[in-house]
Copies of this chain bind each other. A is one copy, B any other.
């Protein structure tokens, strides 16, 4: 719980968080375990205390496409499914053994009632999410595979080292083979990662 308390500490007092703690569930899951199945309604958000989660879709040809990675102190969920109570198009699973905090919309509602600070905090988080997605769309529209990869390792250096390359390829919208080629080409050009 500690990380999550920390995460909230700017917007809620210790006693307020305690009040809300009945809406929180700590959970440990192993690598590969699934938290959300496409087709089912998402009822929780997941805050990562330790470990790494990811959301992804599976297309008609059975190919996975990574939508998001969530390392420590990140929140992951399917907000559309959550808010509109519609079946999710996405899966969420664990890339590593993970300790997480589950919370539902009731937590958000109660916290919002309790604290204006939390409201604006939450607001900011939503806007931040939009910002990330907007930039990603922009890059998918305009950048080459190599540019997208360079951008990725610069933006998420720690994730780069923790997930298999084929997942990064999937996030970038290319095949693992292509990513391997991109990396080879970068090595040839004397690119030093990090």
Contact = CB atoms under 8 A, between A and B. Distances in A.
A188 interface: no
Interface string A130-149: 11011111101111000000
Q: How large is the interface on A (under 10, 10 to 19, 20 to 34, 35 or more residues)?
A: 35 or more
Contacts of A158: none
A67 to B, nearest CB: 6
A65 interface: yes
A122 to B, nearest CB: 8
Nearest to A66: B141
Interface of A: 57, 59, 63, 65, 67, 78-80, 82-84, 89-90, 112, 119, 123-124, 126-131, 133-138, 140-143, 170, 173
